[in-house]
A and B are shown apart, each in its own frame.
Chain A
Amino acid sequence: MITKSRVNRIQILGLLTPGLLLFGMFTVYPIIRLFWMSLCDMSFSSMLTQPYAGMMNYREVFQDTTFWTVFINSVVYTLITVPGQMALGLFIAILLNGIRRFSVTFRVINYLPVVTSWVIASLVFRYIFNTEGLLNYFLWKILGITSSNIRWLDTRWSGLSVAMILGIWKGIGWNMVIFLAALQQVPQDLYEAAEIDGCGGWKKFTCVTLPAIRGTILFALIELTIGGFNVFTSIKMITGGKPAHQTDTLLTWMYYKAFSTGKFGYAAALSFVMALSLGLLAIVQFRMMRNKNE
């Protein structure tokens, strides 16, 4: 076959080279370097020598109480925002799937938060949830539900809640679009068959819709889990980790350790643990969804 010729082999290599160079240099190399850094002692006194230190950084990470605080924060953030966005996104997709007029308009509007950048959205939310902000005024003076200003941003769980509300608000549109596409591909005769069997709305949803879109659910689940652990900008902008690092997440804590206290080895170990566990989690999610359906 002609593709076996030398010219073509060189040309294939030529097509791969630019991408592989960029990818290798700016993604693969940093991953390897990250692993190596996590095994070295890199802090103020050792910055210029960077001696090999074995598992020292990993031990330090796991013995650090703040690490466990921020770890729980990240897990809670992911456990709440991922199902939250998926459920609401799917719900809106189902609503949209049943209407004809204005479908595109609604879709565009619902997608606007997704294209709004994290920096901007975070600042808007911070402004709204300020102790003296609009929301508190609304709840207290207009609705009369509360009897004082709620300190949304000042405690661990309320501060994280604001970030989680933002995360859900910003993520619904993305879920809506992919679920809508999936719903449109569900064969109509499946629903008709279910109706003949006497299935109600909820039954149709659980027995027909959900199994039919399981591939999309899996895709969203994996993507959003990665996104949930990647939360950084919103935390940095909304609470800045206050009070006393109680609202920090894995990445903002890693960033603080690296760039404010100079503990690069610690930060590298933390990053590496995170990357590794996410990889394993993705594989597990993949397996679970596969097995369920076979």
Chain B
Amino acid sequence: MKSRNAAKIRSAVIRYMLLAAGTVIFTLPMIYMISTSLRPNGALYEYPPRFFPKWEALTLENYDYILHQSKFYLNFLNSAMVSVSTIVLAAAAGSAMAFVLGKFKSRLTRILFGFIVLTMIIPGTTMIVPQFELATKLGLVNQLLALIPFYTAWVIPFSTFMIKGFMENIPNEIMEACWIDGADVWTVYFRIALPLASPAIASVSIFNFLTAWEEYPWANTVINDNSRRILPIAIAGFFGQHQFTQWGYVFAMSVLTLIPVVLIFILCQKFFVQGLTAGSVKG
């Protein structure tokens, strides 16, 4: 028994050591980003390069610039507005579709669902050319509104797919009882299905939020005005202009952009895991 315990302890120690090593690898780039954002721009090509800035060289000047000189607030608001609109629209449209496709099965709904899932295979960026043409035809170029319907349409297949699983698990007996009481479809959807599927909707919404918050190719293609830029384009815009890059600004803005995401992630960790695993275990 004793040797078995020793083996267990040894295995646990190895596990923790490996995990700790992994943690270092996962966090080093982030720590370097934060440390770079805290040193003056002039020190970025200093010699020798340092992982941590000198204590006396620590400065908040990059943050000061980003918060006061750039259009950070505007970009932040744009990003927030686009992301929130996307998740609300996607939750409404996706859950309604999932309810119908999950609970009123017929050949038609099966074909429809198959088709929706099929479109998930196509990488979004491949459609950028016709989508840009569509946006210009609709007069949506350079409007924040050009982002919302496209993002929503992109996340609808995934949202429908995830929520449908939850909808299917709602016992038929509950619905039967409603029909007998004379309820109509909308009542059942709003009173029964939506509340029961709300955990799924919540976790899907977190993923949709991330998608919209970090999207780059489409926003970069369709938005022109600096004041209408969302955060990822604003960050990329700081980089590489006129053959010099103010890395301090780039990383200060990056840190500020990451804060809400990391907060949401840590607070909603449970929903994250639920959302991810719901799709994968069903396979």
Q: Do A and B come from one complex?
A: yes
Q: Smallest distance from the beta carbon of B235 to chain A beta carbons, Å? A: 6
Query: 1/0 per position for A14-33, CB-CB distance to B under 8 A?
Result: 11101110110111111101
By a CB distance below 8 angstroms, the chain A residues around B92 are 18
- Of the listed residues A19, A134, A172, A230, the one surrounded by the most CB atoms of chain B closer than 10 A to its CB is A19
Residue of A nearest to B234 (CB): A119
- Whether A268 touches B129, Cβ cut-off 8 Å, given contacts A11-B184, A12-B100, is yes
Residue of A nearest to B153 (CB): A26
Q: Are A120 and B26 in contact (CB under 8 A)?
A: no
Q: Smallest distance from the beta carbon of A118 to chain B beta carbons, Å? A: 6
Rounded to whole angstroms, the CA-CA distance of A1 and B283 in the bound complex is: 33
Q: Are A117 and B93 in contact (CB under 8 A)?
A: no
Q: Are B236 and A282 in contact (CB under 8 A)?
A: no
A8 at the interface (CB under 8 A from B): yes
B42 at the interface (CB under 8 A from A): no
A128 at the interface (CB under 8 A from B): yes
Q: Smallest distance from the beta carbon of B233 to chain A beta carbons, Å? A: 8
Q: Are B45 and A26 in contact (CB under 8 A)?
A: no
Q: Are A233 and B126 in contact (CB under 8 A)?
A: no
Q: Smallest distance from the beta carbon of B167 to chain A beta carbons, Å? A: 11
Q: Are A15 and B119 in contact (CB under 8 A)?
A: no
Q: Are B185 and A268 in contact (CB under 8 A)?
A: no
A124 at the interface (CB under 8 A from B): yes
Rounded to whole angstroms, the CA-CA distance of A11 and B123 in the bound complex is: 33
Q: Are B126 and A16 in contact (CB under 8 A)?
A: no
Q: Are B236 and A119 in contact (CB under 8 A)?
A: yes
Q: Are A271 and B127 in contact (CB under 8 A)?
A: yes
- Whether A169 touches B26, Cβ cut-off 8 Å, given contacts A95-B15, A132-B45, A278-B122, is yes
- Of the listed residues A98, A107, A120, A127, the one surrounded by the most CB atoms of chain B closer than 10 A to its CB is A120
Main SS at interface, chain B: helix
By a CB distance below 8 angstroms, the chain B residues around A178 are 276-277, 280-281
Q: Are A22 and B149 in contact (CB under 8 A)?
A: yes
Query: 1/0 per position for A216-253, CB-CB distance to B under 8 A?
Result: 10111010001001101100010000000000000100
Q: Are A251 and B134 in contact (CB under 8 A)?
A: no
Q: Are B22 and A92 in contact (CB under 8 A)?
A: yes
Q: Smallest distance from the beta carbon of B53 to chain A beta carbons, Å? A: 12
Rounded to whole angstroms, the CA-CA distance of A26 and B137 in the bound complex is: 12
- Of the listed residues A123, A259, A279, the one surrounded by the most CB atoms of chain B closer than 10 A to its CB is A123
**Which of A62-70, A108-116, A150-158, A189-197 has 4 or more CB atoms under 8 Å from chain B?**
A108-116
Query: 1/0 per position for B152-179, CB-CB distance to A under 8 A?
Result: 1110110010000000000000000001
- Whether A25 touches B96, Cβ cut-off 8 Å, given contacts A123-B239, A279-B118, is no
Q: Are B26 and A109 in contact (CB under 8 A)?
A: yes
Q: Are A120 and B258 in contact (CB under 8 A)?
A: yes
Rounded to whole angstroms, the CA-CA distance of A78 and B92 in the bound complex is: 35
A71 at the interface (CB under 8 A from B): no
Q: Are A23 and B273 in contact (CB under 8 A)?
A: no
By a CB distance below 8 angstroms, the chain A residues around B277 are 177-178, 181-182
Please classify how large the interface on chain A is, using the bins under 10, 10 to 19, 20 to 34, 35 or more.
35 or more
Q: Are B134 and A30 in contact (CB under 8 A)?
A: yes
Q: Smallest distance from the beta carbon of A278 to chain B beta carbons, Å? A: 6
Rounded to whole angstroms, the CA-CA distance of A102 and B12 in the bound complex is: 12
By a CB distance below 8 angstroms, the chain B residues around A267 are 129
By a CB distance below 8 angstroms, the chain A residues around B280 are 178, 181-182, 215-216, 219-220
By a CB distance below 8 angstroms, the chain B residues around A120 are 33, 232, 235, 254, 257-258
B196 at the interface (CB under 8 A from A): no
A143 at the interface (CB under 8 A from B): no
Rounded to whole angstroms, the CA-CA distance of A116 and B281 in the bound complex is: 25
Q: Are B214 and A117 in contact (CB under 8 A)?
A: yes
**New A-B pairs, 6, CB < 8 Å, besides A230-B123, A279-B121:** A19-B94, A22-B149, A109-B27, A178-B277, A255-B217, A278-B121
Give the 10 A-B CB pairs with smallest separation, nearest first: A215-B283, A117-B214, A26-B153, A181-B277, A19-B93, A230-B123, A271-B126, A33-B130, A15-B96, A178-B280
A-B contact pairs, 26 of them (CB 8 A): A11-B184, A11-B185, A16-B96, A22-B149, A25-B134, A26-B131, A30-B127, A30-B131, A31-B119, A31-B127, A109-B26, A115-B258, A117-B214, A120-B235, A123-B236, A134-B51, A141-B48, A181-B277, A182-B280, A219-B283, A226-B121, A232-B125, A255-B217, A275-B122, A279-B122, A282-B121
